[in-house]
Amino acid sequence: MRLSHMMEDMARDARDASRQLRRMGREQKDDALRLMAKRLLEHQEEIIEENQKDLPLAREVGLSPAMIDRLTLSPSVIADMAGGLREVAGLPDPVGEITGMWKRPNGLQVGRVRIPLGVIGFIYESRPNVTVDAAGLCLKSGNAVILKGGSEAIHSNIILGRLLAEALKETGVPEKAIQVIPTTNREAVNILIGLDEWIDVIIPRGGEGLIRFVADHSRIPVLKHYKGVCHVYVDQSAPLNMAEEICFNAKVQRPGVCNAMETLLVHEAVAPEFLPRMVRRFRDAGVEIRGCPRCLALIPDIRPAEEADWPAEFLDLILAVKIVTDMDEALDHIETYGSRHTEAIITSDYGRSQRFLAEVDSSVVLVNASTRFNDGNQLGLGAEIGINTSKLHAFGPMGLEELTTTKFIVYGQGQTRK
Amino acid sequence: MRLSHMMEDMARDARDASRQLRRMGREQKDDALRLMAKRLLEHQEEIIEENQKDLPLAREVGLSPAMIDRLTLSPSVIADMAGGLREVAGLPDPVGEITGMWKRPNGLQVGRVRIPLGVIGFIYESRPNVTVDAAGLCLKSGNAVILKGGSEAIHSNIILGRLLAEALKETGVPEKAIQVIPTTNREAVNILIGLDEWIDVIIPRGGEGLIRFVADHSRIPVLKHYKGVCHVYVDQSAPLNMAEEICFNAKVQRPGVCNAMETLLVHEAVAPEFLPRMVRRFRDAGVEIRGCPRCLALIPDIRPAEEADWPAEFLDLILAVKIVTDMDEALDHIETYGSRHTEAIITSDYGRSQRFLAEVDSSVVLVNASTRFNDGNQLGLGAEIGINTSKLHAFGPMGLEELTTTKFIVYGQGQTRK
């Protein structure tokens, strides 16, 4: 009961702060962002000290060394966080942009103007640098944010939230624009997603379990992505060297992320030439291959793929491989097993490149480029708060603009409806 | 159990149909829309016959004469429905529009292209013409739709759905692109909003109870508007004749709709001159006035407003009236009691017009025009499937473009991520 009262107060404060943020000019928001960066650097010893309190518990609950590494704050990680805030300060302010204006026959001038969403509830796991990134993006786009990080990072998140809020206050921005929920109580997530009177959007970031839970139980609209089961289709006309480089990059460069390739589809005409050398290179890099029966006929010593491998997001050095008879079979496979995240075709055929772009129903569809480019920074949005694989609001990576919406403004001279 | 199987089949069929619709050109969709219109006119006797079966039950369950009137299909109503379909055929096709394209430093060309949402579940009450309107808009925007109308209109909706689907089939469009759920079983709504594997968006249209139920229980994202508590603020600089005409239009022209004015806010400087004559005119038109204490001091014989009147959507000839000390009080009142739907200011002061447009957080904000203009047709969107008062995806009236989303397309030359 006490927790829910505290969180209602936080949400109400966020709503009040968002009302002030709405009309705040770019300069003041950018000043705050730069001071936030400065404060992080000035207080890095204190941050590291608090971060050290998180690490023993993280080891105790059995987090993997890789997870503990991502949790650990060093001077260079803190410098990166500060650099990120300064970068966001340098990006254009999406708020106030007039996206269109037109005149109606009765003389009304109707326009659309970009406005912040309002209050964002951001739920995430582990890495404390996400606290700083999300706070910066929300502030720049004129939104108040309530941050619920993982319990492993609670001390780190609390100190970061305090430093950021102090910087806000010093620059005349309401300090309640950035609030960290100061508890490891898991009930806080349940409460947060029920506060629909004050919160406009929930953005969860983390494992599929967390995201499904939030999406299934939230009374507030959710922007989410469940998983990335990304495909590369190597067409019969593919330049095979290019195909090899792109497939290798898509699988190996960073296998644990959502835009890594999980399934490789190869046209039967090039499979005999392409697959043996590609598989050899993957195996040299430690990638386990799980192949369809036709793959096995070509390369007998690979593991047979099971049905469960086709819709799987391995997030690891594992790759499902299937030989297809034609592009239709590739498109059907993607339609059946894909997650609408990212798919690429490697081809030198103009018509098939166009058909793939038109027919694949994913947030990012690429020709002759790595799936790893599905990322707000890489696509030129400037920054990214997450990737949305539901089609509403923003399909794909979400940058500053995607943290806004538009309202209609109407200039009249006394018009009434007939 | 049988119902849920049937509905899963419908949803799966809709998903298959949507895959074909995605790549359908404008001409074929427009041909289908025009044939749909033709079929309705050709079969009007049959439609009216089925509609007659709905009316006795409607009387039995005690629908008001106004509701029964809206439920009744006459040759002229059918002609209007057909005309609506032809109008939609004449509107531009939003699908395939490239909304932007840019080049990245590494040579990637990144673009955004407009695509259909996919499968829409549309839940509505009473009027069978909504069946036809919604089907037309969804088809034109490349979406498959599953329609769940009110049980009072079940015979009408079934015959309309059958005629529309036949027209689709004849023009080579998958007939499952438009499906009417052929049951009055209320469980159908529960099942529909759980079919998140196949349905992309739920759009409920009807009373607040229905919409809240759908929003609270749906596993699928919902585009909704709860209610329109629309305000007109008459500023101290308002041209009083203009203010009178706009306020009268906003309240009286069609009081039962969401964009009608529910609360009038008047600056104290003009209240003594403006309010008595305005109230007289309202009363002559049968409008009941519920006033704040300061109103009562000015016009003693009006009913005192209670706290519950300020957030009320009367949808009737009832108006809450409040005298405010300044624009800040008006803005605070709107922030506290408004529904983010539609608010208007009547003023001749440039600065205050700008401030009102900037600070009011509603889907449509007007200067010197009636709130009744919050409507897709009136604002120039061509048509409207509903109004969204949640800020995600489309804030305000939703036309064809709002039934689409965008995906990213990327043209590469072998780029990999470093």
What's the gap in Å between the CA of A216 and the closest CA on chain B? 6
User: What is the per-residue pLDDT for B200?
Assistant: 94
pLDDT < 70 stretches in chain A: 1
Rounded Cα gap, residues A257 and B199, in angstroms: 27
Rounded Cα gap, residues B123 and B201, in angstroms: 11
User: What is the per-residue pLDDT for A369?
Assistant: 98
Average pLDDT score over residue span B379-386: 89
Q: Which CATH class is domain A2-225?
A: alpha beta
Q: Which of B222, B335, B392 sits opposite A201 (nearest CB)?
A: B392
User: pTM for the full model?
Assistant: 0.92
Architecture of domain B2-98+112-224: 3-Layer(aba) Sandwich (3.40)
Q: Which of B246, B358, B407 sits opposite A362 (nearest CB)?
A: B407
Return all residues near A174 (Cβ < 8 A) that are at least 6 apart: A16, A17, A20, A21, A144, A168
User: What is the per-residue pLDDT for A70?
Assistant: 86
| Optimal mutation site among A339, A408, A409, A411, interface B, most CBs of chain B within 10 A | A408
Are A359 and B404 in contact by the 8 Å Cβ rule? The answer is no
Q: Is the dihedral of CA B194, B340, B100, A369 positive or negative?
A: negative
B403-415 residue pLDDT tens: 999 999 999 999 9
Query: What ipTM goes with this model?
Result: 0.93
Q: Tell me where in chain A the CATH 3.40.309.10 domain(s) lie.
A: 230-372
Phi first, then psi, for residue A158 (nearest 5°) are -65, -45
Nearest CA in chain B to A99: B99
Average pLDDT score over residue span B187-204: 95
Architecture of domain A230-372: 3-Layer(aba) Sandwich (3.40)
pLDDT at B54 over 70: yes
Q: Tell me where in chain B the CATH 3.40.309.10 domain(s) lie.
A: 230-378
User: What is the per-residue pLDDT for A1?
Assistant: 62
pLDDT at B1 over 80: no
B216-275 residue pLDDT tens: 889 899 998 888 999 999 999 999 999 999 999 999 999 999 999 999 999 999 999 999
DSSP codes, B238-259: --HHHHHHHHHHHHHSSTTSTT
Average pLDDT score over residue span B196-210: 91
B276-293 residue pLDDT tens: 999 999 999 999 999 999
Could you tell me which CATH number the domain at B230-378 has?
Answer: 3.40.309.10
CB atoms within 10 A of CB A83: 13
Contact A364 B405 (CB under 8 A): no
User: What is the per-residue pLDDT for A383?
Assistant: 83
CB atoms within 10 A of CB A245: 17
| Optimal mutation site among A342, A378, A402, A416, interface B, most CBs of chain B within 10 A | A416
Among B379, B265, B406, B269, which residue's Cα sits nearest to residue A410? B379
Q: Which of B216, B358, B417 sits opposite A378 (nearest CB)?
A: B417
pLDDT at B392 over 80: yes
Average pLDDT score over residue span B61-66: 84
User: What is the per-residue pLDDT for A207?
Assistant: 84
What's the gap in Å between the CA of A215 and the closest CA on chain B? 7
Q: Tell me where in chain A the CATH 3.40.605.10 domain(s) lie.
A: 2-225
Contact B410 A242 (CB under 8 A): no
Average pLDDT score over residue span B114-134: 93
Are B51 and B73 in contact by the 8 Å Cβ rule? The answer is yes
Phi first, then psi, for residue A94 (nearest 5°) are -75, -20
Length of chain B, please?
418
Among A166, A174, A228, A202, which residue's Cα sits nearest to residue A372? A228
Across the A:B interface, residue pairs with CB atoms under 8 Å apart total 207
B330-377 residue pLDDT tens: 999 999 999 999 999 999 999 999 999 999 999 999 999 999 999 999
